[in-house]
Amino acid sequence: MNKTYTPIQIIGTQRSGSNLLRLMINELQGVVAPHPPHILKTFMPMMNQYGDLSVDEKFSQLVDDVCRLVETNPVVWEKVNLDREQIFRSAKQRSLVEVFIQVYEQMASANEADFWCCKSMANVKYVDQMERHGLNPLFIRLVRDGRDVAASFKKVAVGEKHIYHLATYWKELQEKSEKLVNRLGSGRALTIKYEDLIEKPEEVMSLVCAFLGIPYSNQIFNYFKSEESKHTAASGYMWANVTQPILKNNTQKYKAILTTEEVSIFESIAGQMLEKNGYAVSHCEPQDFSIDQVEAFDIENEKLKRSTLQQEHLKVDLQKRAVQEALVEEIKARKMALTPEFV
């Protein structure tokens, strides 16, 4: 592909309104923002199993595996049929990041877009790999009250479930995102808060458009009528709200969901980060947890994960994810069988 595209990467933590932001951005002229199949998050931990990518067969296998991951995504990528041969031929380097770029550029080309946006927020962990490759996206950091994030994670099929793990995860990604934004500066990175996005959406999205250099349009607030929103909502409970207009009062839900003890644990771990982002806390003194306590939290976390997956309201989510999850297990099993250290 000879055309130059501008990549956009949303960072922060899932359950922060990122699909709302993605769907609004997807309504901007010249932008495509598909639901993320989490390419880097899925494949980075497995890359040592692929071996030398200068070997055509090994690189071709990686390309095919990544394409299959996209093709089994719970929310279908519209208008694009991923061309493995083109990705193989067009790759400037033989790396996972390059395949990631080529896949998103094919999506942008199919949708006649100039910008592509990735909402895989954990990609903040792979910024070093992106930069070494020469991928320098515009970053939008989305922040939401971590206690609301934790309360939301408790009700969905993915993620941690114990408050200790949720607080640790939120704090880790927010620290990484904040550090990146501070390093890159305002030309490459923008921070917005979910609470501002739903309370004053015109103001916040005007900032986003100015940052991206894209004309602002009220069309973005028709996101909930779009086919992309309908496909997303149909894929499970996690995204049911995206076919509704902005829920302006969707804040401080944690007060009715988390116990006093859970709030205390969250704030003892991540209270300083909450305060730094303008969220009031009642208790933010750091607390040291013993090895025995953490082990007990680990056991309870796994128990809560299993219990959550038995919930009736998550049946559609699990069905939609089953094919992609089976694919990932197939890839892991195949690679483990071929790699001597796993035999």
What number of other Cβ atoms are within 10 A of residue 132's Cβ? Answer: 11
Per-residue pLDDT at 336: 59
Does residue 1 form part of some domain? Answer: no
How far apart (Å, rounded) are the C-alpha atoms in residues 157 and 178? 27
In a domain, residue 161? The reply is yes
Q: What is the pTM of this model?
A: 0.93
Q: Is the dihedral of CA 263, 266, 269, 272 positive or negative?
A: negative
**Averaged in consecutive runs of 10 residues, what is the pLDDT profile of the chain (343 residues)?**
88 94 96 96 94 96 97 94 97 96 97 97 96 95 97 91 96 97 97 97 97 95 91 78 88 95 95 95 82 95 91 80 91 69 40
User: Which residue type sits at 244?
Assistant: Q
Position 316 in a domain: yes
3-state secondary structure of 142: strand
- Closest listed residue to residue 133, CA positions, set 104, 107, 95: 95
| Total number of domains in the chain | 1
**Contact between residue 18 and residue 121 where contact means Cβ atoms under 8 Å apart:** yes
Instruction: Supply the pLDDT for residue 313.
Output: 81
E strands, the chain, are 6-12, 31-32, 115-118, 138-143, 189-193
The predicted structure's pLDDT at residue 341: 46
Angle, alpha carbons 83-29-13 (nearest 5°): 75
Q: How far apart are CA 270 and CA 284, in angstroms?
A: 7
Cα of first residue to Cα of last residue in the chain, in angstroms, is 40
Structure tokens at 281: 């806390």
294: domain CATH number? Answer: 3.40.50.300
Do 167 and 258 meet the contact criterion of CB atoms below 8 Å apart? no
The pLDDT assigned to 292 comes to 95
Structural domain harbouring 100: 6-342
